[in-house]
Amino acid sequence: MTDGFTINHLVYLLHGLVWTVVLSALAFALGGVAGFFVMLARTSTMRWLRRLSLVYVQIIQGTPLLILMFVIYFGLGVIGIELPPLMAAGVGMMIYSSAYLGEIWRGCVESVPRTQFEAAECLALTRWQVLVDVILPQAMRIATPPTVGFMVQLVKNTSLASVVGFVELTRAAQVINNSLFQPFLIFGIAAAFYFCVCYPLSVWSRSLERKLNVGRR
């Protein structure tokens, strides 16, 4: 390659890529669990719960992820609660994911025709049975493409974890560039690694959209 850049630097970038994938997976998995409960709250029959969950979603969606990470990592440290960088970044991205996934899934649940709810209620099913046996299977069909699309955004947003000292791909590139000062090469390689992770997800999302025929519902 270019003088100064060695195989050890490449290995360090690959190590950062691994942690990027790990952080993305943790944020999506934990955020998905929390997002499911946000979706339940947003579609609840209890008005106070709907309003409370709406406030939560609006606050999180109206706050930059970077600020959220600052608050969790540095803000909690001020009051004596010190979290390791991975946990701080993971918690921040989990909260961020829960709000967005909750809203994505809420929209998909509410896009199921109202007649499906009414037909299920005519069978004397409980609200939970209606949701699990009738509504969610149809909503999942609609939700799959945008959920996969959100995963792509999540992978790219892991780059913000570098501000709390977590060594993911972007932070690894910064460390190497500080010693070699070859930004075009180093960040170009980092960008290629991000592309290698995100592009298959984007293709998968478009493929799912075609297969599920969401656009013609």
**Structure token pair of residue 83:** 């979290």
Residue 42 lies in a domain: yes
Number of H helices, E strands in the chain: 10, 0
Answer whether residue 1 shows pLDDT above 50: no
Residue 55 lies in a domain: yes
Residue 213 binned pLDDT confidence (cut-offs 50, 70, 90):
low
Answer whether residue 98 shows pLDDT above 60: yes
Question: pTM value?
Answer: 0.85
Answer whether residue 212 shows pLDDT above 70: no
Q: Compute the CA torsion angle 214, 113, 41, 108 (nearest 10 deg).
A: 10
What per-residue confidence (pLDDT) applies to 36? Answer: 95
The CATH number of whichever domain residue 164 belongs to comes to 1.10.3720.10
Give 177's DSSP letter. H
Residue 1 lies in a domain: no
User: For the chain, what is the mean pLDDT?
Assistant: 88
Instruction: Burial-class residue 202 by CB neighbours within 10 Å (0-12, 13-18, 19+).
Output: middle
Residue range 8-37: mean pLDDT, rounded: 94
Domain count, the chain: 1
**Which residues form the domain of 48?**
7-216
Q: How do residues 26-73 score in pLDDT, each as one tens digit?
A: 999 999 999 999 999 998 889 999 999 999 999 999 999 999 999 999
**Percentage of the chain modeled with pLDDT above 70:** 94
Residue 2 lies in a domain: no
Residue 157 lies in a domain: yes
Give 44's DSSP letter. -
**Structure token pair of residue 156:** 């790219």
Residue 117 lies in a domain: yes
Cβ neighbors of 160 (< 8 A, separation 6 or more) are 65, 66, 69, 89
Q: How do residues 198-208 score in pLDDT, each as one tens digit?
A: 999 888 877 87
Instruction: Burial-class residue 215 by CB neighbours within 10 Å (0-12, 13-18, 19+).
Output: exposed
